[in-house]
Amino acid sequence: MSLFSLIAALLLEHFRPLGGSNPVNLLFTRYANYLERHFNAGENVHGTVAWLLAVFLPVVVVGGIYGGLYYLNSLLAWAFSAVVLYPLLSLKQLGGQAERVAAALRVADLDDARRQLSQWHGRPADEFGSAEIARVGIEQTLSCAHKNLFGIIIWFVVFGPAGAVLYRFSQLLGQKWGGLDQLDFGEFGKFATQAFDLIDWVPLRLSAISFAVVGDFEDAVYCWRAQASAWAQEGIGIVLASGAGALGVKLGEPLSYGGNIEFRPELGLGDDADSDYLDSAVSLVWRTVVLWLVLLLLLTLAGWVGG
C-alpha cells in the first residue's frame, strides 16, 4: 500500500503544490519557536527534551492514528498515509524553482537569475556570474531533492507515515536549531544536529546510489569516493559528488559573498555548469523518482505473489 499512498501524494503535490503557504511547515515552525523560547537555557539536555517534544510526540500521534485506521480498514490507513505525505513532499516546487533559474539563464537575464536563485537558496547571489548561478542551482536541486523528497520517501517506505514525519521534522529542526550560534545559545541545538545526522545516514547513501544508477554510474561512484569527504558537510557532499559525477558536470569551487571568498572544493568531472545542466539535474531527479516507483512496484507485486 505504500506505493499507492506515495503515488497519490505525488499527484496531489504536482497538481496542488502548497509552496510557501504549506500549513504543516508554518504550524511546525511556530511550535518549534514556542519550544525554543520555553526550553532554550543553553544546555544540551534542554535541546534533547525540546527535540523529543517537537519530533517524537508528533511521530507517536501519527503512528497511533495510522495503526488505529489500519486496524479498522486498510483503505483508511492508505488514505491517511497519502494525506500525511502530501504536505511533506515538494517535487513540483523543486522543479519549478530550478526551471525559473534555468529560463532566466537561457535568455541571459542574470539579474532575474540571481534574484530567483537568492530566493530559493536563501543567500545573496549578487556577485555570481552565469556559471556560478548554474552551479549553485544544480547543488540546490540535488540537495533539496534528497532532503525534501528521497529522504522522506525512504523513511515512509520503512516505517509508514510516522517515519516520513520523523525525517521531515528532524530535518527542519536540524536546520533551525542546529544552526544556532553556540556563543549565544550554548549547546541547545547540538542534539538536533546529531539526531538528524543519524537519521539521514542511510538515506544520503541511497540517494547517491540512485543518482549513480540513473546517470553515469562509473563517474558518480568515483566522485563519491574521491571528493565527498572534502566537502564541509560530508553527508550532503556524498549526494552532491555523486550527482555531479552522474551528470558529468563540475560543481563546488569558490564563491564570492559580499566581497568575501567562500572556498569550496571541486566536485564532479566534465564540463562547466550552465542552464542545460540545470535542466539535466531536474531530469536526473525525475528519473530517480521513476526508479524508486518501479522498485516499489516490484516489491509490492512480490508481496502479493508471496502472500
3-state secondary structure of 271: strand
Backbone angle region of 259, left / alpha / beta, with phi > 0 → left and psi within -120 to 50 → alpha = left
Comparison of pLDDT for 25 and 288, the residue scoring more: 288
Indicate the pLDDT class of residue 1, thresholds 50, 70 and 90: low
Q: Is 103 helix (H, G, I), strand (E, B) or coil?
A: helix
CB 6 within 8 A of CB 13: no
Q: What is the pLDDT of residue 92?
A: 77
Task: Give 231's DSSP letter.
Answer: S
User: What is the tens place of the pLDDT at every residue in 34-52?
Assistant: 999 988 887 889 889 999 9
Residue entry with cell 517537537? 54
Cβ–Cβ under 8 Å, residues 220 and 246: yes
Cα 10 to Cα 101, 241, 251, distances in angstroms: 23, 27, 29
Phi-psi region of 267 (alpha: psi -120 to 50; beta: other; left: phi over 0): beta
- CA torsion 10-16-21-25 (nearest 10°) is -20
Of 155, 122, 204, 144, which is closest to residue 55 (Cα–Cα)?
155
Q: Where are the domains of the chain?
A: 2-306
Rounded-to-integer distance, Cα 147 and Cα 137, Å: 15
**pLDDT for 240-280, tens place per residue?**
999 999 999 999 988 888 778 889 999 999 889 999 999 99
Q: Is it the case that residue 159 has pLDDT exceeding 70?
A: yes
Task: Name the strand (E) or helix (H) holding 260.
Answer: strand 260-262
pLDDT digits (tens, 9 = 90+) for 170-190: 999 998 887 776 655 678 888
Joined grid coordinates for residue 2: 505504500
Residue-wise pLDDT tens digits, 134-153: 999 999 999 999 999 999 99
240: which 3 cell numbers?
552532491
* 70-81: pLDDT as tens digits: 999 989 999 999
Report the predicted TM-score, pTM, of the whole model to 2 decimal places. Answer: 0.93
- Are residues 237 and 227 in contact, defined by beta-carbon separation less than 8 angstroms? yes
Give 189-202 pLDDT, tens digit per residue: 889 999 999 999 99
